[in-house]
């Protein structure tokens, strides 16, 4: 329990509006990282808050293959009545393994009036390096305004990506790692903007090149993988290297058409996030959330998209380098670098 990490947790909670006397619920499971649970408790104590800790057993694995980085924890499934009773709390801090970001239980909390702050299952050093930064708010607000008003997004790269996305009406999300007064949900690490395209909105070709990241597998791509997308569906995965072979076999194991569909797309804004971090930690010590937020990266994800009426536990996040991202034909990312604000 390092004092410098407690400082980071306390500062993050303060930025999220936690003050003296506030009643805050901590939600964990038996396989949660003990250091994150302890730092959360210590950070709340330093803020003067009153913490209530609810710990449940981690559930049995029910999917046909290993599942990671979904943001749809099943740990609190069946505890809806308990969660609804937390309405007296000003905040629920989520330190479950997979997180409640996309789970049904998140909505139970929100309907009871409880805001949700998710801490990704990372080594505390990663969280400290990617501390929430209020200075990113103008950058986030600009990106959110652009994307929410846009009709189209296009993505190209020298590796061969040529993707066309209809964004009109697509729900837009973003954050910098803490809860503002108007926010009901936030997570740490953060610093990105994305949208959930509506049905029949995504077509084109996506090429994962060496150095891009498969976050579900927690590895860098070594050999090119070409994904052909028609009406939101990945209809073909081409490539002869291990990356393509493993992707094809993992998708096939689900036997679920929704596994192949587009979940969300967006770009990273956080200069504190690092491309190299995935290689510096053991897999049990990193969830890779910061790689979704690297400034100038493009994020392409497949899996559940509730706004297009598609649900599945199969989820992939692919942070990509050296892309051009245009919103209504205006560049927001140029060859993997954020375009200057205008």
What stretches of the chain adopt beta strand conformation (E)? Answer: 23-29, 50-56, 91-94, 115-119, 152-157, 162-166, 172-175, 185-188, 192-195, 202-208, 213-214, 219-220, 225-230, 233-238, 262-268, 298-302, 316-320, 323-327, 330-334, 337-338
Q: Are 327 and 153 in contact (CB under 8 A)?
A: yes
Q: Check residue 342 and give its pLDDT.
A: 65
Residue for token digits 């604000």? 341
Q: What is the DSSP letter of 153?
A: E
* pLDDT confidence tier of residue 64, bands split at 50, 70 and 90: confident
Query: What is residue 104's predicted lDDT score, i.e. its pLDDT?
Result: 87
Residue 247 near residue 258, CB atoms below 8 Å: no
Q: Which pLDDT tens digit goes with each residue over 216-273?
A: 999 999 999 999 999 999 999 999 999 999 999 999 999 999 999 999 999 999 999 9
Share of the chain above pLDDT 90, in %: 89
Q: What is the pLDDT of residue 68?
A: 74
Q: For the residues of 201-231, what is the DSSP string, one character each?
A: -EEEEEEE-TT-EETTTTEE--S-EEEEEET
Q: How confident is the model at residue 307 (pLDDT cuts 50, 70, 90)?
A: very high
**Residue 71 pLDDT greater than 80, yes or no:** no
Average pLDDT, the chain: 95
pTM tops 0.85, yes or no: yes
Mean pLDDT of 155-166: 98
Mean pLDDT calculated for residue range 177-191: 94
């Amino acid at each position: 329990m390092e004092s410098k990490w407690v400082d980071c947790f306390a500062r993050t909670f303060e930025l999220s509006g936690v003050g003296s006397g506030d009643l805050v619920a901590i939600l964990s499971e038996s396989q949660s990282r003990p250091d994150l649970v302890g730092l959360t408790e210590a950070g709340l104590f330093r803020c003067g808050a009153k913490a209530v800790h609810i710990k449940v057993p981690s559930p049995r694995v029910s999917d046909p293959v290993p599942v990671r980085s979904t943001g749809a924890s099943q740990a609190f499934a069946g505890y809806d009545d308990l969660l609804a009773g937390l309405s007296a709390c000003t905040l629920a801090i989520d330190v479950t393994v997979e997180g409640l970001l996309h789970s049904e239980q998140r909505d139970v909390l929100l309907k009871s009036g409880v805001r949700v702050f998710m801490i990704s299952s990372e080594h505390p050093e990663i969280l400290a390096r990617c501390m929430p930064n209020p200075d990113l708010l103008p950058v986030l607000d600009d990106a959110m305004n652009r994307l929410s008003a846009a009709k189209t997004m296009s993505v190209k790269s020298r590796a061969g990506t040529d993707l066309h996305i209809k964004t009109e009406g697509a729900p837009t999300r973003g954050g910098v790692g803490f809860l503002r007064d108007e926010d009901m949900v936030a997570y740490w690490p953060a610093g990105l903007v994305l949208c959930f395209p509506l049905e029949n909105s995504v077509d084109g070709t996506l090429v994962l090149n060496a150095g891009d990241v498969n976050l579900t597998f927690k590895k860098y791509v070594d050999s090119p993988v070409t994904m052909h997308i028609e009406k939101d569906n990945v209809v073909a995965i081409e490539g002869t290297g291990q990356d393509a072979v493993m992707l094809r076999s993992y998708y096939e194991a689900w036997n679920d058409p929704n596994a192949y569909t587009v979940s969300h797309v967006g770009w990273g804004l956080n200069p504190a996030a690092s491309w190299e971090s995935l290689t510096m930690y053991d897999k049990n010590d990193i969830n890779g959330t910061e790689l979704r937020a690297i400034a100038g990266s493009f994020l392409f994800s497949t899996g559940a998209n509730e706004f297009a009426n598609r649900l599945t536990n199969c989820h992939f996040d692919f942070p990509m380098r050296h892309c051009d991202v245009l919103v209504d034909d205006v560049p927001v990312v140029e060859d993997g670098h954020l375009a200057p604000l205008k």
